[in-house]
């Protein structure tokens, strides 16, 4: 997978994101959440490093009824 910037520390994100989302995070959960966030960041970096043309639309689709 593509490397995420060394400066990214997922643990820094947890407290402010939890506040924004009104989530209560127990201290003993933080390591596992950080590990999962780091894995997501790696996956997102791999996807994000792939060049897509501007006109490539999202696969989400809405159909009026």
| Residues within the interface to other proteins (CB under 8 A) | 1, 10, 13-14, 17-18, 21-26, 29, 32-37, 39-40, 42-44, 46-48, 50, 52, 56-60, 63
Nearer to other proteins, 6 or 46 (CB): 46
- Nearest distance from residue 21's CB to other proteins, in Å? 6
Closest CA to 21 of 10, 12, 13: 13
- Nearest distance from residue 64's CB to other proteins, in Å? 11
């Amino acid at each position: 997978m593509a490397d995420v910037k060394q400066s990214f520390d997922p643990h820094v994100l947890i407290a402010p994101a939890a506040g924004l989302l009104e989530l209560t995070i127990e201290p003993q959960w933080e390591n596992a959440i950080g590990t999962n966030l780091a894995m997501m960041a790696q996956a997102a970096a791999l996807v994000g490093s792939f060049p897509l043309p501007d006109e490539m639309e999202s696969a989400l689709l809405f159909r009026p009824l």
